[in-house]
Chains A and B, each alone.
Chain A
């Protein structure tokens, strides 16, 4: 039988199959952060076992860290305790640890690719659902729960039934002002938040082939928002160029050996998927969400759909619109906003800051807007400064914060207040996601930039010269 990209990587990692049960899947890289790991480490302690492969395990602090004054002790005692627990556990078990203030610190899904931890054909897990980001390199990468974190720490394996396979094909070209984020929000709006549940997705077609590695990461990152276990894109020259020479990338002879494996990572002609979708890039507009899940997105010039035109219960739909303070049939353009958040593992990389800066250049931040610009890592932060973006941003009235997850999940102090609207480049617009009572509009970095300088929802295409 013809194999898909996913089959090839999965099959290579099956240690054994359990009769009528899941596969025992070997994990090449395990990323660990402070929030979902402490109970897993406690489990190891209670069972009196060690971490099986500390050299395959990487720890960073990101979810619960402040984004100002990182050089000072963390004020919130619970956060401080959680961070200290990760540091202690990393030391105790011999795991590399990039804590607060470390030059390699940043959001787990941003630093993985930056340092070559993320590789094509690898199996990668982390106790965070957006682990799917790493699929951009042709890796099988997915989020796991804390019990599974404990499994991987103790045995470097996880028990998983092999998911079904889905392919999403988008041919053609994207219009001006349409970014990878819009492509992802478009797909989720078509498939709904449960449309890919039980499946692993492969993205194929010109639109993804022409996308930068950073754009591919944004798309794969959002796979989870349609319920998929993960998403992946076959590695190509762009992928190999990106990873070559990074700190943890294989070198010399090891590189050649790995290349032998990587060259074969593509879906064979005639391979069968359980589900397949086809779209044309031309259909996609800049997208924005109006509701309380990432599937509730529309093109910027569309109207908020009426209940009879959406899948699912009317009651749930109305609850969502009420929460947002919106009505059926309204357009999003011109809606007042209060906050702008540029950052997260979805859109916190250097390209995102370049795109944002390009739009705000020569304009001023609107007075009614509080803007949080949070780089995904120190490496991104450094690039923002070195490329001169920071000067332009400052000139326009913006400041830069220090790296972390920040307002993506609002575990630290970066919380959007009750009832306020935030245009966010992150990935979730659930009720209260960005702070109790907060209202989130998910959008691309350029849509966020347009909102930041106009103080309301604005079609970014009107600001592109």
Chain B
């Protein structure tokens, strides 16, 4: 599915300084029954965000009116566990376009890149800087410059280079997905398949 192009994103950010946030927390299994990709944002972090009677849990960051924006900043090893792409959909659908962490689980990272959410991996030290600067000032913005691969904390000198596979970067900048690419080489694939051992 094609998505909006990603170029430079300047936004306030939501801090979630917890480690090992798994995809079961991002979207619990009971919300995976849909047959279309709609409405997942409503259930993002469902059980951290709402009580069982659906009233909001005030202490959870998404319920804190001081914090909002298109960037989610989280502790190390974000997105571990289940391969459910629904987790990335929920993040996108809620309105985030970028997740910043010092470490991402593999499948989650791929899922994000495939649907237009940019995972930005920063150093532990830089992550701490972001947490403390947005804690101090929730209106502080971050700028993610994809062409230059730089993330910076605005109105400070703090910035860091981040890595992204050049092919994936091209996709994000242009809003392409992998299927567009694969369909173009389908004839090669057909020939290849005739010579596979199994």
Q: Is there an interface contact between A49 and B183, defined as CB atoms closer than 8 Å? A: yes
Which of chain A's residues have a CB closer than 8 A to the CB of B30?
A: 410-411, 436
Give Cα A16–Cα B196 distance, bound, in whole angstroms.
14
Q: A81 — which chain B residues lie within 8 A by C-beta?
A: 33, 35
Q: Determine how close the nearest CB of chain B comes to the CB of A308; give it in whole angstroms.
A: 16
Q: Which of A296-325 contact B (CB under 8 A)?
A: 312-313, 315-316, 319
With contacts A22-B167, A146-B85 taken as known, whether A53 is within 8 angstroms of B107 at the C-beta atoms is: no
Q: A159-B182, A161-B165 are in contact. Are A194 and B18 (CB under 8 A)?
A: no
Is B82 an interface position by the 8 A CB rule?
yes
Interface string of B54-96 (1 = CB under 8 A from A): 0000000000000000000001110011111110100000000
Q: How many A-B residue pairs have CB under 8 A?
A: 208
Among B37, B115, B181, which residue has its beta carbon within 8 angstroms of that of A159? B181
* Selected interface stretch from A98-106, A150-158, A171-179: A150-158
Tell me if A193 and B34 are in contact (CB < 8 A): no
Nearest residue in B to A194 (C-beta to C-beta)?
A: B77
| CB closest chain-B residue, reference A53 | B193
The yes or no answer to A79 lying at the interface (CB within 8 A) is yes
Interface residues of B in 99-130 (CB under 8 A from A): 103-107, 110-111, 114-115
* A460 at interface, CB cutoff 8 A: no
Across the interface, do B80 and A156 meet the contact criterion of CB distance under 8 Å?
A: no
Q: How far is the CB of B42 from chain A (nearest CB, A)?
A: 15
Closest chain-A Cβ to B113's Cβ sits at a distance in Å of 9
CB neighbours (8 Å) of A13 from chain B are 196
Chain A, range 392-438, C-beta contacts under 8 Å to B? 409-411, 418, 428, 430-433, 436-437
Is B148 close to A, CB under 8 A?
A: no
Which residue, A43, A129, A258, has most C-beta atoms of chain B within 10 A?
Answer: A129
Taking a contact as CB atoms under 8 Å apart, the answer to whether B198 and A121 are in contact is yes
A5 contacts chain B at the CB level, 8 A cutoff: no
Determine whether A128 belongs to the interface, using a CB cutoff of 8 Å to chain B: yes
How many residues of B are counted as interface, with CB atoms below 8 angstroms from the partner's CB atoms?
58
Whether A144 is near chain B, meaning CB under 8 Å from some CB there, is yes
**CB distance B110 to A436 under 8 Å?**
no
A34-42, A355-363, A450-458 - the one binding chain B = A34-42
Total number of A residues with any Cβ neighbor in B under 8 Å: 80
Nearest CB of chain B from residue A143's CB, rounded to whole Å: 4
B36–A39 CB distance below 8 A: yes
**A28→B86 CA distance, assembly (Å):** 25
A52 to B105, CA, bound (A): 30
Contact between chains at A42 and B52 (CB < 8 Å): no
Residues of A within 8 A of B (CB): 12-13, 15-16, 18, 20-22, 24, 26, 28-29, 35-36, 38-39, 42-43, 46-47, 49, 52-53, 63-64, 76, 78-79, 81-82, 85, 119, 121-122, 127-129, 143-148, 150-151, 154-159, 161, 163, 193-194, 197-198, 227, 229, 250, 257-258, 261, 293, 312-313, 315-316, 319, 409-411, 418, 428, 430-433, 436-437
- 26 A-B residue pairs with Cβ-Cβ distance under 8 Å, sorted by A, are A12-B196, A12-B197, A18-B167, A21-B166, A26-B189, A36-B84, A38-B34, A38-B35, A42-B35, A43-B1, A81-B35, A82-B34, A128-B83, A147-B114, A155-B179, A156-B189, A157-B189, A159-B178, A193-B20, A197-B104, A227-B106, A409-B29, A428-B22, A428-B24, A428-B81, A430-B81
Q: A35-B32, A145-B107, A261-B198 are in contact. List 18 more A-B contacts (CB 8 A).
A: A16-B185, A20-B166, A21-B166, A26-B189, A38-B34, A39-B85, A43-B1, A78-B34, A81-B33, A82-B35, A150-B179, A197-B77, A229-B107, A313-B18, A428-B22, A430-B22, A431-B25, A437-B52
